[in-house]
Amino acid sequence: MTQEEIIDSENMLKYIEARNYLLETEELLYITDLKLHPQLDHICFNAFSSEYCMWDKRGTFFKFCVLNINEKRSDFPDKKRVLRK
């Protein structure tokens, strides 16, 4: 899957899950691009928990965190970001 490829909500969930719900900045820009993902309806950022929440037009819910600009996923090989429920 290339970064310019349009993906449906089911594959978007798999994309986020495959990255342990920790996205790098470039991945955030890709996953929230409304031109590539017109099914997205709401995108919210919770500054208190540093979590992004998204919904598509069918009600599918997505939740993930974004690494700081100076962090890479390789810095956290066995660590999964704990998301608040």
pLDDT of 4 above 80: no
Looking at residues 42-70, what average pLDDT do you find?
Answer: 91
What CA–CA distance (Å, rounded) separates 84 from 31? 20
Q: pLDDT band for 85, please (50, 70, 90 cuts).
A: very low
| Domain boundaries defined on the chain | 9-75
* Whole-number pLDDT of residue 71: 72
Average pLDDT over residues 59-64: 95
Chain centroid to Cα 79, Å, comes to 16
pLDDT digits (tens, 9 = 90+) for 8-51: 999 999 999 999 999 988 999 999 999 999 999 999 999 888 89
Tokens of 30: 């890709």
pLDDT of 79 over the 90 cut = no
